Chains A and B, each alone.
Chain A
Amino acid sequence: MRFRTMADMVTVCAQEGIGIGELMLQDQCAESGKPRETEFAKMAAYYTVMKEAVRRGTTEDTTSRSGFSGGDARRVLARLETGDTCLGADSAGGWRMRSA
C-alpha cells in the first residue's frame, strides 16, 4: 500500500491524478498479485450481496431469533413513501426497492 494515513492517501491521489477508489484498487492488486479484473469482480460480488440484503431488509420479515428486533426498516420505508418525513419529502427519492 502506498498510504498509511489519510494525508498520504490524499497526496498519492493528487500525484497520480486518481481517486481514492482507483488508488485502493491498484494497491490491492499490487498486494495480492491478482489481476485488476479479479479484484474488481470480488468487490462487485460484495456489492451484489449488499443490494440483496437491502432488498430483503426492506421487503421481507426480518424478525430476529430473539424476537426483539425486525421490521423497523419496513416501518421507516412505509413512512418515507408517504413523502411527509421530517428529513424532507425528497428523502424518499432513493427508495424504490419495494417495487424493484
Chain B
Amino acid sequence: MSEVNASMGRIVATPTAGSCGILPGVLVSAQERYGFTDETATMALFAAGAIGYVIANNSFVSGAEGGCQAEIGSAIAMAAGAMVELRGGTPAQAAHAVGLALKNTLGLICDPVGGLVEIPCIVRNGFGAVTALAAADMALAGVRSVIPSDEVIQVMLEVGSAMPEAHRETAKGGLAQTPTGKKILQQIKGRAD
C-alpha cells in the first residue's frame, strides 16, 4: 500500500498518506484470513475513524507537527482498536489496544530521506501493521494499558511539541542526514537537474 503511494498510485490517507499502509494492511489481510464481508471491514473503518478523530482532536496526526509517532503511531492505534472490535473485543479493550500501541511509538521521529515518503516510511508502515496486530491480540487477551489511552495521547502531544524541527518531516535530521541519506538526496537532485 505504501509502495503504491510512493509510485503515485491511488490510496486512502489513514490518517495520512505517509501512514496509509497500516490500516489497509491489517484489514485486508484479516479479511483474507477470517473471511468477513466488506460491510464488516467498512464498520471497522468507522471504528478506526473514531479513534483517529480522538487522537487528532487531542494531539496531532501529522509528521510535520508531531513526528512519525503522530502518523505511524496514530495509524497503528487506529488499526489496533479497529481490529479488537472486529474480533469481538469490547470498546474498553479497543481503548486499551490504542494505549498499548501508542506507547510503543512514543518519540518516533519523522526523518524522510530526500523528503520523500519512501525511506523509512514504507518499512515503518510494514512494521506498524505487525505492531497493530500484536497490540490487538494483547488487548483481546486482557492485557491493559495501565496508563489510559487518553493520557498516552497527551504524552504524544507533549513529546511531539518538544521534538526538534529537524525531526519533524523537514529532512534536516535523522536518517535523512546520514551519509547514505545525503547521497540519495544528491542522486535525486542530479536526476532532476
Which chain A residues have a beta carbon within 8 Å of chain B's beta carbons?
1, 3-7, 9-10, 13-14, 19-25, 27-28, 40, 43-44, 46-54, 56-57, 61-66, 68-73, 76, 87, 93-97, 100
| A65-B30 in contact (CB<8A) | no
List 9 A-B pairs, minimum CB-CB distance, nearest first: A94-B33, A50-B24, A62-B3, A94-B29, A21-B47, A24-B50, A21-B43, A13-B91, A21-B46
| Closest partner residue, chain A, to B188 (CB atom) | A66
In the complex, chain A residues whose CB is within 8 Å of the CB of B50: 3, 9, 20-21, 23-24, 27
Asked if B130 lies at the interface with its beta carbon under 8 angstroms from chain A, I say yes
A-B contact pairs, 23 of them (CB 8 A): A6-B51, A7-B95, A9-B95, A10-B91, A14-B92, A19-B91, A20-B50, A21-B45, A21-B50, A21-B85, A23-B50, A43-B45, A43-B46, A50-B27, A51-B24, A57-B3, A57-B21, A62-B3, A64-B6, A64-B116, A69-B118, A72-B123, A100-B32
Chain B interface residue count, CB cutoff 8 Å, equals 65
> Contacts A25-B46, A95-B32 hold; do A6 and B3 have CB atoms under 8 A apart?
no
The distance from the CB of A63 to the nearest CB of chain B, in whole angstroms, is 6
| A22-B4 in contact (CB<8A) | no
| A53-B1 in contact (CB<8A) | yes
A64 to B45, CA, bound (A): 28
Asked if B174 lies at the interface with its beta carbon under 8 angstroms from chain A, I say no
A23 to B80, CA, bound (A): 17
Which chain B residues have a beta carbon within 8 Å of chain A's beta carbons?
1-12, 14, 20-21, 23-25, 27-33, 38-39, 41-47, 49-51, 53-54, 57-58, 81-82, 85, 91-92, 94-95, 98-99, 113-114, 116, 118-119, 122-123, 126, 130, 148-150, 153, 184, 188
| B95-A10 in contact (CB<8A) | yes
> Contacts A4-B54, A66-B114 hold; do A51 and B28 have CB atoms under 8 A apart?
yes
| Closest partner residue, chain A, to B44 (CB atom) | A21
| Closest partner residue, chain B, to A70 (CB atom) | B3
Pick the contact of A24 from B33, B49, B184 — CB < 8 Å?
A: B49
| Closest partner residue, chain B, to A1 (CB atom) | B53
In the complex, chain A residues whose CB is within 8 Å of the CB of B92: 10, 14
| Closest partner residue, chain A, to B26 (CB atom) | A94
In the complex, chain A residues whose CB is within 8 Å of the CB of B41: 47
In the complex, chain B residues whose CB is within 8 Å of the CB of A61: 7
